[in-house]
Chain A
Amino acid sequence: MTPADMAPADMTPADRGRAYRVVHRTEYRYDDEVTASYGRAHLTPRDAPGQWIRASRVDVVPRPHLLAESDDFFGNRSVYVEVHTPHERLEVTATSEIVVDRPAVDLASIDGWTWEQARDTVADWPALPATGDALGLPSEVDPVAAREFLLPSRRVGFGDGVAAFAAGTFVPGRPVGEAVRALVSRIHAEFTYRPGVTSVTTPLRDVLVRREGVCQDFAHLTVACLRHAGLPARYVSGYLETRPPPGQPKLQGADASHAWASVLLPELGWVDVDPTNDRLVDDDYVLTAWGRDYSDVPPLKGVIFTESTKSTLKVAVDVVRI
C-alpha cells in the first residue's frame, strides 16, 4: 500500500457510525536552507475498538524521496519521511476519513469492584494463561501490554507529588468506577486549562505545583495516578470535534490535536477518559495513537540538516463531519 494514496479501508462500520474527515497540516519555516529532512509522524489514526479508518494519506511538500508507513510497537500507524530537496519550508499534511461508533460506557456498572480488587486482578495476570476472561477481563486484552502500561515511563513518574495526589482519590475500599470518575473530575476541577504555560517537556512536578496546563499535562497526570494505583493506563492522542458557538460558522483550522487517558478496567477493558473536559470519550472523539506517554507518539518529530538556527511552526487542524 502506498500511504500517499487514498487507501480503501479493510473494514466498514455499520451505517449508524459517525464519519469525520480530519485534516492536520504542519508547516515548518526556516530562516536558511535545509538540505535534508528526516521525519517520523504519528498523524494517521489507527484502527481501534469503535473506530474504523476509511482512508488516510500523508502529503509532504517538497515532494519526499521516501514516504513509508509501518506499524510501531504499540500498533499505531507511523510514517517515515525523507526529503533531500533543499527547502526552507516543509509542509506535512495528514488527511484521514474515520468512522466512529463507540458503545456507551457505564463506569458505575463495575462499582462492585473496589479499586484494590481491580488492581490485584491485573497483578495476577502473568501467572495465568494469555487471556484474561477467567478474571472478567475482555479477551482482547494482551497481558503483556497491560503490564507495559503499569510501569512508570519517561514522562510519567511516580515521584514529584504524584503519589500524594493519587492517594487523595484512591482511598481504601473505594469502588473502582467511582474512583476513576472522581480522578477525572478532580483534575478538571483543580487544574486550570491554560495554553502556553507548559510545553511538551514540562515535568509533572511543575504541572502539580502550577495547577495549570494543557490537555497532555492532564492526560499525563491522569495516567500517572492510575498507574500508581496499580491500574494499567495509557496516553492517547487524537482529536475532539469542536462546535462553534450557536449561530456562528465554524472557523477553518480552528480545531486542534487533543490528548487523554485510557485505563484498563475489569469487565469493561480499556476505557478512555478525558480529564481536560471531564467526560468519557465518545463519538465526538477521533483516536490517532496510544503509548506510554507523549514521547511514544508525538505527532511529528524530525532531524534536519541546516545552518538555520530558527524555525517557525504552524499547525492547523480541521475535524469535519462528512
Chain B
Amino acid sequence: MGAASGAFDGARDDGYGRYDAAARAVGAYAERVAALDGVDELVVVGGGADGGPSGGSGEAPGEVPGGTAATGSGHARAASADLAATVDLLGLPGLLARRAETARLVEDDGVTYGVSRRPGDPADGALSDGSVADGALLDAALLDGTERPVRSTPARWRLDPLPVVLDPVEWQAIEAAVAQRVEVLDLVLTDLYGPRDLLRRGVVPAEVVLGHSEFVRAADQIRLPGPRQLFMAAVDLGRDASGGWTVVSDRTQAPSGAGYAMENRRIVSRVMPGLYRDTRLERLRAFFHTVREGLQEIAPATAEAPRVVLLTPGPGSETAFDQSFLSTLLGYPVVAGSDLVVREGRVFVRAPGRLEPVDVVLRRVDAWFSDPLELRPESRLGVPGLLEAARRGTVSVANTFGAGVLENPGLLPFLPAACEALLGEPLRLPSAPTWWCGDPASRSHVLAHLDRLVVKPISRGVGRTSVFGWELSQARLDALRRRIEANPHAWCAQEQVPLSTAPVVTPHGLEPRRFLLRTFAVAKDGGYRLMTGGLGRVAARAGSTLVSSFSGSPAKDVWVLSPATATVLSIPPARQAPVGLPDLAPVPPVGEVVPSTRAAEDLFWLGRYAERAEDAVRVLRVLDDLAEDWTSRPGTPGNLSLRMLLRTVTRVTTTFPGFTGPGAGRLLDDPRPELLALVVDGTRAGTLAHAVDRTVEAAHAVRDQLSLDTWVVLGSLDRVLDEVRQAARDGVEQPLQPALARMLEGLLALAGLGAESMVRDVGWYFMDAGRRLERALQVAALLRHVLAPADDVPLPTAVEALVLESVLIAGESIITYRRRHQGRPRPGGVVDLLLADRHNPRSVAYQLERFADDLAHLPPETTPAGGAPAGRVEAREALAAVQARLREVDAAEVADPQALTATLAEVHAAITALAASFAQAHFVHAAPQRSLVGTPGWLA
C-alpha cells in the first residue's frame, strides 16, 4: 500500500548544504529566507511509487476523474458524474485547451508564487530552493525610490483546471474535526504562554516546548483581547486508503494560501463556466468577511473603529500575491515593517506628512523577524518596539508572536492527551504516527526503525531538515543515530501514512497525483469558522510523494457542494439570500488607513515609470517610422532630420552614448540595432523595457491598491517585449511599429485604469503627481533638445520643419497644430502648444496645473511634532515659480533663438528640481536601522 508522512522542508533538502554557505555569505538576508512568511511550501507525502519502504501504490492510477476525491453521498456522486461527463465531453484536446486557458488566466491575473532570480544575479546558484534572498535588498531599493538594483521575476502559480469535489456530509465531518483541532491548538497556545500547566502536569513534556525554536519567550504573557489566542490556522489534510482524513501538518505561524484558494476559484469558475454554473457549491467569499470581522473583534478595547494592516515581508516575499490578494479581499492595506513605527508604545503607519495609528496587525512576517529590538537584531523586516506595544495591549498582533510553537511535530504524540485534558473529549483527527525522541521508549523505537521512518528535528531551523531513513546509507544512518542520541529532545520521527490521489490534466491525459487539502480556520465569536473549501495541492509528478509549491506542485480548486442542492425548495426564502452575501448585515465601522509613505512613493514612481514608458513608445514610434523612410537616403532633409532626432532621443532618454558618442556615426547610418536596444534592453536605464520593468516592479509593491485588470495589461506589455526579444534572437528582421503600437495600447489602457478605475484617494494623487511630473519633464526635455540642440548648428528650414512635425507627433499634438496653423511647423507655434498652452493635455503648463491640483489633495502638512515638514514649502514655491515663468513666455522670447534656448533650459531644470524637492518633501525615509549590541568591555 501507499504511504505518506507529513514531512516539511523536503524541497529544501538538496539545497541546504549550499544554503548554509549562502547564509554565511549573504548573512541575515539569506538566513531569513527559511523563515520567510512562515510558509511551508513543502509537504512531503511519502511512499508509493517513489520507493517508500512499503512500496506499491494505494490507488490504481487513471480512475474516474473526481472519483478519488469525491465520495460519499449522492450529491458528490452526482457532481462527480457531472465532472466526469464534462471531462468525457471535452476529451483530451478540450482538457488541454482548458489547461492552457487556466495558465493564461494565471498570467493575466499576475498570480505568482516564489521568486526566481535571473541568471547571473549574485545570489544565483547559492540558493537552489528558488526562494528569495533579495527580498530585503529589494525593500531597501524600493525605499531608495529611484532605481531598483535587483529585478526579481516571480514564478507563475500553477493550477489544474479540474476541481476536487467534496460532498456536504463529508465536509461537515471535516469542518467539525478541524474546528476541534484548532480549538485544542488554541488552548495549548494559551497555556504555553500563560500558566504552562500542560508542562507542569507532564501532559506535554517540557522539553518539547522549551526546546522548540518557535517558543518565543519574549512573547510570554502577551494576550489577544477575547477568548482565542490562535487567530488563524491552516491544517493540511490527506486522505488515506480507507477514506479517512489525516493531518499532515498544522500551520500557525502565519498561515498562507487563503488568497490562493480564492484565486483558484476565480480562475476555475471562468475556465469551467458550465460546470461551475450547474453545480451548487459553497462560496469562499464568506470566509474573508469572517476574517475581516474577526480582526475587528481582536482589536484593543480602546479602538473604536479599529484600523487593521497586513504586515508583509515585502514584495519579494514568496507569497506576495497571496498577501496582497488577501489584503484586497479583506479591505485592509499591506504594509512593510519599515512602513510602521512605534512611538510611545503605540504602532503607527508612516503616512505622508503624518503618523496614522494602527490597532491590529495581521502578521505575515515570521515572529523572529518582526521586532529587531527583542528578537533577531539583524532583521530589517520588523518594527522595533512592536513586541512592547503588543505587551502593553495597544496593538493586537495576529497570529501572536509565539504561535509558531504549534507547528512543532514533536507535539503530535501528546495532542490526543492534551485534547482530553483540555476539552474532555477525544481528538477527532489523527495525524501521522509520530515519536518524540526525548521520551526514552519512543527513542528506542525510532532508533530501532530508523531506516523506515521520516526523521526530522522538531524545529524548522536553517540547515536542518527531514530525512527519509530508507534513503540513507548505513554510514549516514549511524551518523543520524549519533546526532539523535546527542540531543534526543530535538528530534522526532514519523511513520508514513497512505494517501489518495486526484486526477490532473497532463499532455498525456489524466494522471493521478497525491492530493493534499489545506483547510483554513479563523477565530470568530468565540469559536472557529472554516473556509468552506480550501487550497488543494497535488504532487508535481505522477507517483511522486512530494507535494510542494516549491517543486512546482499544481494547485486545485476545492468545491464543497452546498447542502441546499437537494433541499432547495424547502429552504425558506429568507435563508437563501444571505448565502455568500453575509455583508448585507450591518458592519461595524472600520478605521481607514491611508497609504504608507512607502506605498505613496511606489505609487508616485508607478505613475512616473508608466508615463516614461508611454513617452518612450511615442518617440520611438516616430523614430522607427523615420528610420524606415530615410535611413537609406543620406543627404536628404528627411535623413538629416532623422539624425537630428536620433541624437535627441539619446539625450531625452539619457541613454548615452547612443547616437551621440564617438562611435555614433555608424549608428546614425544604421540606427535600427540601437533603436531595437532602446525598446528591449532592460539593463539600460532610459529604455522602454527599463521603464516597463520598473512599472511592473512598482505595481507589485502596491499590488493591494491596484485594480485586478492592471495585471492583464502589465502582462501584455511583458509579452510584447518578450516576443520582440525572441524575434531578435531568432534573427528575424521586423519593423518595430506593430510591437510599439501594441505597447502603446497597453500603456494607454494602464493610464485609463488609473483615470477611470481608481478612487481619488491620497494614493491616487501621488500616482497622478508622478505621471504629471514625468510628462512635464519629458516634454520639456524633448523641446529643449530639439529647439536648443547642444550641437548648436542651425537647422535648414526644411529639416527643422520635419523635426518639429515629429515632435508634434510624439507630443500627440499634431492634429491640433494643423487645425490652428497653416504651413510648415515653426518653433513659436510648437513651443506655444507644447509648453505654454494650459488647455493642451500634452503641454508642460497643463501638467503643472494638474500637479498643483494633486498637491492640494495631499494630506495636511503637519509633522507629528506639528508644523510643515521641511521641503514642502520649497516644493510649492518652486512650482509657483515655474508656472509663473511659463506664463511669461512671449512671442519675442520664442522668436529669439538665444532667449528660447535659455528659457527651455531654465524650465527643464526647474521641473527637474521640482520633482526632486517633491520627493524629498513627501518621501521622508527613516535613517538606517542599526543595532546596539550588549555592553562589551566586561570586567571580572
Q: Which residues of A line the B interface, CB within 8 A? A: 26, 28, 34-36, 38-40, 65-66, 68, 70, 72-74, 80, 82, 84, 126-128, 130, 142-144, 147-148, 150-152, 158-159, 193, 195, 199-201, 214-216, 240, 256-259, 276-277, 294, 296, 298-308, 311, 313, 315
Contacts and interface: CB of A to CB of B under 8 A. Distances in A.
Given A80-B388, A303-B372, A311 B202 contact: no
State the 7 A-B residue pairs at the shortest beta-carbon distance, nearest first. A298-B934, A256-B939, A147-B206, A302-B932, A73-B217, A303-B384, A38-B384
B940 A193 contact: yes
B487 A158 contact: yes
A241 B217 CA distance: 32
A144 B936 CA distance: 31
A315 B210 CA distance: 34
A148 B936 contact: no
A306 B928 CA distance: 5
B709 interface: no
A40 B374 contact: yes
Contacts of A147: 199, 206-207, 210
A72 B199 CA distance: 19
Contacts of B342: 38, 82
Nearest to B220: A73
Interface of B: 196, 199-202, 205-207, 210-211, 217-218, 220, 341-345, 372-374, 377, 384-385, 388, 391-392, 486-487, 489, 926-940
A257 B937 CA distance: 9
Contact of B930 (A68, A152, A215, A304): A304
Contacts of A308: 930
Contact of A305 (B377, B392, B926): B926
B936 A313 contact: yes
A21 B936 CA distance: 22
Contacts of A127: 202
Nearest to B864: A84
A88 to B, nearest CB: 13
B377 A303 contact: yes
B201 to A, nearest CB: 8
Contacts of B344: 65-66, 82
Contacts of B929: 303-305
A127 B374 CA distance: 34
- Majority-rule SS of B interface residues: loop
23 contacts: A66-B344, A68-B345, A73-B217, A74-B217, A84-B343, A128-B202, A150-B207, A158-B487, A199-B936, A200-B935, A200-B936, A214-B940, A256-B938, A257-B939, A259-B938, A299-B934, A299-B935, A300-B935, A301-B933, A302-B931, A304-B930, A304-B932, A307-B927
Given A147-B207, A148-B206, A195 B939 contact: yes
Contacts of B207: 147, 150-151
Nearest to B372: A303
B691 to A, nearest CB: 31
Contact of B206 (A143, A298, A299, A303): A143
A277 B940 contact: yes
Contacts of A34: 927
B414 to A, nearest CB: 12
A216 B211 CA distance: 23
Contacts of B487: 152, 158
Contact of A144 (B199, B217, B345, B934): B199
A247 to B, nearest CB: 22
Contact of A215 (B341, B927, B938): B938
B137 to A, nearest CB: 19
A214 B939 contact: yes
Contact of B937 (A39, A126, A144, A315): A315
Contacts of B345: 66, 68, 80, 82
Contact of B931 (A65, A130, A301): A301
Which of B196, B341, B934 neighbours the largest number of chain A CB atoms within 10 Å of its CB?
A: B934
A151 B927 contact: no
A262 to B, nearest CB: 17
Nearest to B198: A144
Contacts of A214: 938-940
A147 B385 CA distance: 30
B202 A301 contact: no
Contact of B934 (A130, A193, A300): A300
B932 A39 contact: yes
A67 to B, nearest CB: 10
Which of B207, B377, B933 neighbours the largest number of chain A CB atoms within 10 Å of its CB?
A: B933
A40 B933 CA distance: 11
Which of A193, A305, A315 neighbours the largest number of chain B CB atoms within 10 Å of its CB?
A: A305
Nearest to A65: B344
A313 B940 contact: no
Nearest to A298: B934
B402 to A, nearest CB: 11
Contacts of B377: 301, 303
A155 to B, nearest CB: 11
